[in-house]
Amino acid sequence: MKEPSYPINEPPELPPEVEEIISSLKLLYMLGGEATVRTALDEAGVEKRRSTAWCTTSSIR
């Protein structure tokens, strides 16, 4: 198995556009909870994938 290029407990640095999306999702989560975030992602046509869900939920928490 290939070792990650970053420490395991620290995710890689994300591009500013991704950071902005995560900030928006955090705000949606604070205002309306998980269902609101899921609805927004569904309406945006975001494909449901395990890696996407992991990234989103760990960033929100």
In this structure, is residue 31 part of a structural domain?
yes
Tens digits of pLDDT across the chain (61 residues): 677 666 667 767 888 998 898 898 888 888 888 888 888 888 888 776 555 554 555 555 4
Q: Which DSSP state fits 48?
A: -
How many independent structural domains does the chain possess? Answer: 1
In this structure, is residue 4 part of a structural domain?
no
Instruction: Give me the pLDDT at residue 4, please.
Output: 64
Q: Which DSSP state fits 59?
A: H
For residues 33 and 60, the answer to whether their CB atoms sit within 8 Å is no
What residues make up the domain containing 31?
Answer: 16-60
Asked whether the CA dihedral 12, 25, 41, 19 is positive or negative, the reply is: negative
Rg (CA), the chain: 13
In this structure, is residue 3 part of a structural domain?
no
pTM assigned to the model: 0.49
Within 8 A by CB and 6+ apart from 25, the residues are 37, 40, 41, 56, 59, 60
